[in-house]
Each structure stands twice: as C-alpha cells, then as structure tokens.
Homo-oligomer: A and B are copies of this chain.
Amino acid sequence: MSCVQTLRELGYRMTPQRQAILEAVHTHDDHFSTEEVHEEVRARYPQVNISTVYRTLELLKELGLVTQTDLGEGILRYHHIDKGHHHHLICENCGAIIDVDESVFSPLKRELLQDYQFKANMSHFAIFGRCAKCQR
C-alpha cells in the first residue's frame, strides 16, 4: 500500500507539501538527507519551509515508513523502508562504510525479546569501530 494511502487511513491530511515530500522520498534509492528532500520539493513548491520537511520525515519515521540513521556526518539520513533492510559498519579512522545484512542482528534481536521482552527496533543501524585496514 502506498504511503499516501497509509497516511490517509491513519487520519493524516494530504497536503501538496506532503505529497511532494513523499515523491522525493520514493525517487531516492540511497540514504537521503532532509536538505536533499527539501531541495527537490522546493523545485516545485519554492515556499515550502524546511521545518515542514523535518516534521514530515519525523512523522514517516514514527509510522515506520522510513528509517533514520546517524552515519556520523553531523546530519541525519533517511532510507525508505521498501528499499530493503541493511546496516552499516563505519570505520572511525578512515570513514569506510561496510554494509551488512540485517540478519547479523537477528540473534541479538531474538535474545532481547526472550530475556527482556523488549522488541528492538533495529531497522537501520550504524555501528562505529575500526575496519580491517585500520587495526594496528
């Protein structure tokens, strides 16, 4: 089901701003930033304020339609949930980013549920450390 439908059914209103933001979110395959979405939206609706983009992305995150991740750049990046689940290992020394499949976290997720009855939301993780090259 489309994001537009989901929002509508949950009682949220569909504004031109939200529609444009949703379209921008869907055209990106990679990890997009708020600023990038804002630029695309502004190409069509120049008056749209960036706080609207922040608020909309926050809403989409709360509804589980996008994931939010801090890759260590000083900004937050987003990822449409339809584009697949994966995580990132980030080298604190050289900045290298290694992608890992979400299955790596499955045992941990299972243990947290069994031992703590905690349902971890691990849809897009960034783990910092040292890559192979950068260890001594």
Contacts from A to B (Cβ < 8 Å): 89, 91-92, 98, 100, 104-105, 107-108, 111-112, 115-122, 127-132, 135
Contacts and interface: CB of A to CB of B under 8 A. Distances in A.
A117 B129 contact: no
Number of copies: 2
Contacts of A122: 127, 129
Contacts of A121: 92, 127-130
6 contacts: A89-B116, A119-B130, A119-B135, A120-B129, A122-B127, A122-B129
Contact of A127 (B91, B92, B104, B120): B120
Contacts of A120: 89, 127-129
